[in-house]
Structure 1
Amino acid sequence: MSGDATRPDPLPAGADRATLRRLERRMYRRLDVIAASRRLVESIPATVQIVVAVVVSYSFAHFVLGHATPLLSITVVLTTLGFRRDARPRRVLDSAVGILVGIVLSELMVAIVGHGVWQIALVLAVTLLVARTLSASDAIAAAAGVQGMLVMILPVPAGGPFVRSIDGLVGGVVALLVTALIPRDPRRIALRDARGLVSAVEQSLASMIEGLRDDSEPAASLGLERLRRTQSLIDDWSSSLETAIAVARLSPFLRRHLPALRRQAELQHAMDLAVRHLRVIGRRVFFLVQGGGARPEVAELLVQLAGAIAALGATADARDAGALARPRGMLEAIAPRLDPAVILPGAPVSEGVIVMLVRPLVVDLLVATGMTADEARELLPPV
Structure 2
Amino acid sequence: MQGLHPTLRGRVRRLWLSIVPISQCAIAAGLAWFIAFDLLNHERPFFAPIAAVVSLGLSLARRWRRSVELIFGVSIGILVGDVVITWIGSGAWQISVVVAAAMAVAVFADKGPMLPTQAASSAVLVATLLPPGDAAAYERAVDAVIGGLIGVLVGALVPVNPARRARRDAAGILNTFRDLSHDLATALRADDEDGVYRVLAKARGSQAAIDGLRADVLAGREVGTLSPLYWGSRPRLKKIAATADPIDNAVRNFRVVNRRALALTQRGVAVEESMIEIIDGIGDVFEVLRQMMLAEPGESPDQADAARALRSVVRKARTSLADDVEDLSEAALLVELRSLLVDLMMVAGLSRMSAIAQLHLTK
1:213-239 CA distances to partner (integer Å, 9 max, x unpaired)? 101101111222222222232222112
Equivalent residues in 2 for 1:47-58 (5 A)? 47-58=22-33
Equivalent residues in 2 for 1:23-102 (5 A)? 30-84=5-59, 86-102=61-77
Deviation beyond 6 Å, 4+ runs, structure 1: none
User: Paired residue for 1:308?
Assistant: 285
User: Paired residue for 1:373?
Assistant: 352
1:130-163 CA distances to partner (integer Å, 9 max, x unpaired)? 2333344444432332233233333459746422
Equivalent residues in 2 for 1:1-383 (5 A)? 30-84=5-59, 86-155=61-130, 159=135, 161-292=137-268, 293=270, 295-320=272-297, 323-342=302-321, 345=324, 348-380=327-359, 381=361, 383=363
- For 1:333, give the aligned amino acid: S
Q: Tell me the CA shift for residue 171 of structure 1.
A: 1.6
| CA distance in 2 between partners of 1:264 and 1:355 (Å) | 29
Percent identity between matched residues is 25
Q: Tell me the CA shift for residue 96 of structure 1.
A: 3.2
Q: Tell me the CA shift for residue 348 of structure 1.
A: 4.1
- For 1:266, give the aligned amino acid: A
Change (3 A) 1:130 1:192: farther
Change (3 A) 1:147 1:184: farther
| CA distance in 1 between partners of 2:114 and 2:130 (Å) | 26
Change (3 A) 1:100 1:179: farther
Q: Tell me the CA shift for residue 262 of structure 1.
A: 1.1
| CA distance in 2 between partners of 1:39 and 1:107 (Å) | 43
Q: Would you say the 8 A contact 1:106–1:152 is kept in 2?
A: yes
Q: Would you say the 8 A contact 1:86–1:240 is kept in 2?
A: yes
Secondary structure, in 3 states, of the residue corresponding to 2:259?
helix
Q: Would you say the 8 A contact 1:61–1:70 is kept in 2?
A: yes
| CA distance in 2 between partners of 1:274 and 1:47 (Å) | 34
Change (3 A) 1:177 1:128: same
Secondary structure, in 3 states, of the residue corresponding to 2:53?
helix
Secondary structure, in 3 states, of the residue corresponding to 2:5?
helix
| CA distance in 1 between partners of 2:120 and 2:201 (Å) | 42
| CA distance in 2 between partners of 1:166 and 1:110 (Å) | 21
The more displaced of 277-286 and 372-381 is: 372-381
- For 1:302, give the aligned amino acid: I
Q: Tell me the CA shift for residue 263 of structure 1.
A: 1.0
- For 1:326, give the aligned amino acid: D
1:266-299 CA distances to partner (integer Å, 9 max, x unpaired)? 2222111212222221111112222333643222
Q: Would you say the 8 A contact 2:223–2:230 is kept in 1?
A: yes
Secondary structure, in 3 states, of the residue corresponding to 2:228?
coil
Q: Would you say the 8 A contact 1:88–1:244 is kept in 2?
A: no
- For 1:84, give the aligned amino acid: S
Q: Tell me the CA shift for residue 186 of structure 1.
A: 4.9
Secondary structure, in 3 states, of the residue corresponding to 1:162?
helix
Q: Tell me the CA shift for residue 365 of structure 1.
A: 2.1
Task: State the TM-score, normalizing by the size of structure 1.
Answer: 0.82
Change (3 A) 1:375 1:87: closer
Change (3 A) 1:265 1:155: closer
- For 1:273, give the aligned amino acid: N
State how many pairs are aligned: 355
Superposition CA RMSD, Å: 2.8
Q: Would you say the 8 A contact 1:217–1:290 is kept in 2?
A: yes
- For 1:69, give the aligned amino acid: R
| CA distance in 1 between partners of 2:74 and 2:245 (Å) | 34
The more displaced of 268-277 and 341-350 is: 341-350
Task: State the TM-score, normalizing by the size of structure 2.
Answer: 0.86
| Unaligned 5+ runs, structure 2 | none
Secondary structure, in 3 states, of the residue corresponding to 1:253?
helix
- For 2:343, give the aligned amino acid: D
